[in-house]
Structure 1
Amino acid sequence: MQAIDARPAKPFGHSTLPGRSARVLAGVTLGALLALAELVFLLVFALGLIPIVAVPRSRPAVIRFTHRCAGQLVTLERRRLARFHDVGDLGPYSDHQAFGYVARRWPLGLLGGLVILLLVFGLIVTGSMLSAWVVGGTWGFIEEDGGAVSSATVAVAAIPGLVLLYLNVMGIAGVSQLDVALARHHLTPSAEDVLARRVSELTLSRAEVVQVVNDERRRIERDLHDGVQQRLVALGLLLSRARRSRDPARAADLVRQAHDESEQALADLRDVAWRVYPTVLDQLGLHDVVSLLAERSAIPVTLTYDLPVRPPAPIETAVYFVISEALTNATKHSGAQRIRITVQAAVPAAPFGFTPPTETTAVVVTVTDDGHGGADPDGRGLTGLAGRVAAYDGSFVIDSPPGGPTTIRAELPCA
């Protein structure tokens, strides 16, 4: 799986008035051309209604095909709106919504084309009149007495010309705003759809969190049974043998072994408690705990930590578990020789000419190893991590092609 950044790129001159004006003009012009294509599409669709009348059973197939074609046209419209009008948050929408948008959008596009043509015509007339004024009648603007266009004529014509130019520019801006409003109205989900999808996501996240908790309980029980419990049994046996032994040297040796077992049992118990929740995280902070994880790793780790402020405690915990589980998986299954961990902040983009903000909106964690790849995203450990991240409305991406490398990326919002 690969993450794709779908945000529209901001071209040069994005925040300057001439740059914005040129982009709006280009967007309206391209919208007029697309409107012609949409009108032709609707006319062809009207012809496609003929076989529906003759063969009613063909109606579903014709409608599905038409809606898919409308979806392709809307894809072009979305690219135009994102490139020239900074509208990048459209969707999701159905093919039926796409068809409704196309059916309602073409008159507005043709209106924009008409306004552009009037602007071009006005510029041509203005250029011709100015040329006649300069060169003395070359372009045919001759007064009744045979003379060239006078300065008084140019001055009188300039007043209504400027008014018409202003109205024309305002018309282009109005068409652009209506274009954006129409797209948002038809190509964005309603409040009910958003709430329904949100409820579905929360229901799924809750089920995943419950599964993560159950898996965590089973893992703790397994660690206690296979680790601490076995060592405590061995400790009891050693102390029992030492108590029954009549040889002081032998008894002392058994007590020493029992002491070693008790220390190891305590270390195992601390490891289990650390994996349940590292209390030192509250005291030292995420940076020191992640550094400690990197030092304890059996595979050499390169750590890059770049957070300007400390994130909230729940986010720190989630980041810790993402890194811990990723290191465990890489150590057990990847055969890697090197692991790279990056913890950095995602900050909102600064407007042109302003200082970038320092507020951290999300924490982005990336763990990459140079192993043989082929990690199973549906495995218990990675599925648990995905559920843990989803519980915080975060995103979790695994990229592990055969042959490697394996990259685990999690983004957790701080809000």
Structure 2
Amino acid sequence: MKALAVRGTQYAAGLLLGTLTAVVELIFALLGGLALLLVLAWPHGRRAVRQPLGDVAARLAHLERRRLGRFLGARISSSYSSGHAVRYVVARWPLGLLGGLVVFCVLLGLLYAGYAALGWTVDDIEYPWAVAGTGLLGLFLVFLAGQSVFGLALLEGHLARRLLGPSHHDELERRIAQLATTRAGMMDAVDGERRRIERDLHDGVQQRLVALGMLLGRARRSRDPDRAAQLLLQAHEESRRALAELRDVAWRIYPTVLDEAGLRAALETVAERTPLPVHLTYEVPEPPRSRQVETVAYFVVCETVTNVVKHAGATRITVTLRRDGPRLALRVEDDGVGGADPAGGGLTGLASRVAALDGRFRVDSPAGGPTTVTAELPCV
């Protein structure tokens, strides 16, 4: 109930601001229509008038997009033409004035209800039924107008998406292009992972196994028992190092703890294995429904922390995961020297992983630091 009241208050504030902008849009519609009427028979004049009208309408539409996103929770695409902006501004002002009228009715109902409640504090009430009726009428007006506030908020977003947003055909084309890009990016990321695994096995585990075989061969050919025992001890140590490196490679491919204990336990393990201090904040009351989301979130944190240890020259790392409505918000920050290249191979691979799930990935790394990597992943 509290969240509903907070949302209703936010919507009402957005509708009030929309009433102010509707007055400006009404003046724009009147003056713009008059200007076009004066040059209706003059083609060059029409073109000369349409350009400034389109610029003014684009500015008004930009303000409306910010208002809708801040107060009404409607995300509107910015890829619209000046012609779309003009049509939207001209069509929106009646809805904006209606929003102000609805909010006024809410305030009027609250005033009636408050007046009735205040009346009952008086000892002698001459007309108790009139006071009670006034209070009930005020509450009924608040109920009806409150419902209209939520309905108008949805209608505002629908109108903006209908007149400003891309058409269904354009949206499908954009989506197809996005899927083709993310598919190509994922293929590059997979190929990069394969090359990295091959390099780790060739330069690490394979070299350890070769050294182990050489030590065992020398121990087998040795006629000195003490020398053979020393070689066997070295072979034993080499086998331990090979096993440790093999476990590291397997961990980087996919950690089993992610399936067994969940994302939080996997990230805590990453923090424990990192040589730098890692402060982990995990505020995700319910795990994502998709295992792929947890996997991508894990690899974003793991690869980013690895890059920080290798290249950033940092002294500490902060990792934060929060549930932000239907999305999982992830943030990794360090106090290193900065200057990370978002177009680098590792960060590009992470961006491709996130984009494959319709998520958002951003790297902010000015020279001198700090470096901040953020990602948003859909949880549903």
Normalised TM-score (structure 1)? 0.69
Give the conservation status (yes or no) of the 8 Å contact 1:35–1:109.
no
Sort the Cα spacing of 1:326 and 1:208 in 2 relative to 1 into closer, same or farther, 3 A.
Answer: same
Deviation track 1:283-315 (CA, whole Å, cap 9, x = no partner) reads: 122222211111111111111122213333222
Deviation track 1:38-91 (CA, whole Å, cap 9, x = no partner) reads: 43345456678888549xxx96x986665344312322344565678x363333
Deviation track 1:219-250 (CA, whole Å, cap 9, x = no partner) reads: 00110111011111111211222222222211
**Offset of residue 110 of structure 1:** 11
Give the conservation status (yes or no) of the 8 Å contact 2:339–2:368.
yes
Sort the Cα spacing of 1:218 and 1:32 in 2 relative to 1 into closer, same or farther, 3 A.
Answer: same
Aligned pairs for 1:196-275 (under 5 A) are 196-275=173-252
Which secondary structure does the structure 1 equivalent of 2:211 belong to? helix
Sort the Cα spacing of 1:77 and 1:43 in 2 relative to 1 into closer, same or farther, 3 A.
Answer: farther
Which residue pairs with 2:346 in the alignment?
381
Q: Provide the C-alpha distance between the structure 2 equivalents of 1:271 and 1:286, rounded to a whole number of angstroms.
A: 18
Which secondary structure does the structure 2 equivalent of 1:396 belong to? strand
Among candidates 15, 29, 36, match of residue 8 of structure 2: 15
Which residue pairs with 1:398 in the alignment?
363
Which secondary structure does the structure 2 equivalent of 1:397 belong to? strand
Q: Which amino acid aligns with 2:349?
A: G
Sort the Cα spacing of 1:91 and 1:288 in 2 relative to 1 into closer, same or farther, 3 A.
Answer: closer
Q: Provide the C-alpha distance between the structure 1 equivalents of 2:13 and 2:214, rounded to a whole number of angstroms.
A: 85
Aligned pairs for 1:332-347 (under 5 A) are 332-346=310-324
Aligned pairs for 1:336-375 (under 5 A) are 336-346=314-324, 348=325, 361-375=326-340
Give the conservation status (yes or no) of the 8 Å contact 2:65–2:75.
no
Q: Which amino acid aligns with 1:395?
A: R
Aligned pairs for 1:153-192 (under 5 A) are 182-192=159-169
Which residue pairs with 1:308 in the alignment?
285
Sort the Cα spacing of 1:109 and 1:255 in 2 relative to 1 into closer, same or farther, 3 A.
Answer: closer
Among candidates 23, 27, 43, match of residue 36 of structure 1: 27
1:91 aligns with 2:91: no
Larger Cα Rg: Structure 1 or Structure 2? 1
1:74 aligns with 2:61: yes
Q: Provide the C-alpha distance between the structure 1 equivalents of 2:57 and 2:29, rounded to a whole number of angstroms.
A: 8
Give the conservation status (yes or no) of the 8 Å contact 2:219–2:227.
yes
Sort the Cα spacing of 1:94 and 1:45 in 2 relative to 1 into closer, same or farther, 3 A.
Answer: farther
Give the conservation status (yes or no) of the 8 Å contact 2:77–2:165.
yes
Give the conservation status (yes or no) of the 8 Å contact 1:319–1:365.
yes
Give the conservation status (yes or no) of the 8 Å contact 2:15–2:96.
no
Moved more, 40-49 or 330-339: 40-49
Q: Which amino acid aligns with 1:264?
A: R
Give the conservation status (yes or no) of the 8 Å contact 1:34–1:109.
no
Which residue pairs with 1:27 in the alignment?
18
Q: Provide the C-alpha distance between the structure 2 equivalents of 1:182 and 1:279, rounded to a whole number of angstroms.
A: 48
Percent identity, aligned pairs only, is: 49
Give the conservation status (yes or no) of the 8 Å contact 2:74–2:157.
no
Sort the Cα spacing of 1:68 and 1:30 in 2 relative to 1 into closer, same or farther, 3 A.
Answer: closer
Sort the Cα spacing of 1:80 and 1:330 in 2 relative to 1 into closer, same or farther, 3 A.
Answer: closer
Which secondary structure does the structure 2 equivalent of 1:343 belong to? strand
Q: Provide the C-alpha distance between the structure 1 equivalents of 2:39 and 2:6, rounded to a whole number of angstroms.
A: 45
Q: Provide the C-alpha distance between the structure 1 equivalents of 2:59 and 2:280, rounded to a whole number of angstroms.
A: 44
Show structure 1 runs of 5+ residues with no match: 1-9, 120-165, 349-360
Deviation track 1:82-104 (CA, whole Å, cap 9, x = no partner) reads: 678x3633334422311333455
Sort the Cα spacing of 1:236 and 1:341 in 2 relative to 1 into closer, same or farther, 3 A.
Answer: same
Sort the Cα spacing of 1:184 and 1:258 in 2 relative to 1 into closer, same or farther, 3 A.
Answer: closer
Which residue pairs with 1:353 in the alignment?
none
Which secondary structure does the structure 1 equivalent of 2:311 belong to? helix
Deviation track 1:173-195 (CA, whole Å, cap 9, x = no partner) reads: 89x79877654431223322222
Sort the Cα spacing of 1:249 and 1:389 in 2 relative to 1 into closer, same or farther, 3 A.
Answer: same
Give the conservation status (yes or no) of the 8 Å contact 1:45–1:66.
no
Give the conservation status (yes or no) of the 8 Å contact 1:231–1:264.
yes
Aligned length: 331
Sort the Cα spacing of 1:268 and 1:50 in 2 relative to 1 into closer, same or farther, 3 A.
Answer: farther
**Offset of residue 269 of structure 1:** 1.0
Deviation track 1:164-213 (CA, whole Å, cap 9, x = no partner) reads: xx9xx99xx89x79877654431223322222222222111111111110
Structure 1 vs Structure 2 CA RMSD: 3.7
Which secondary structure does the structure 1 equivalent of 2:332 belong to? strand
Give the conservation status (yes or no) of the 8 Å contact 1:35–1:110.
no
Give the conservation status (yes or no) of the 8 Å contact 2:332–2:372.
yes
Q: Provide the C-alpha distance between the structure 2 equivalents of 1:235 and 1:188, rounded to a whole number of angstroms.
A: 65
Q: Provide the C-alpha distance between the structure 2 equivalents of 1:261 and 1:25, rounded to a whole number of angstroms.
A: 73
Q: Which amino acid aligns with 1:217?
A: R
Q: Provide the C-alpha distance between the structure 1 equivalents of 2:14 and 2:261, rounded to a whole number of angstroms.
A: 51
Q: Provide the C-alpha distance between the structure 2 equivalents of 1:259 and 1:320, rounded to a whole number of angstroms.
A: 34
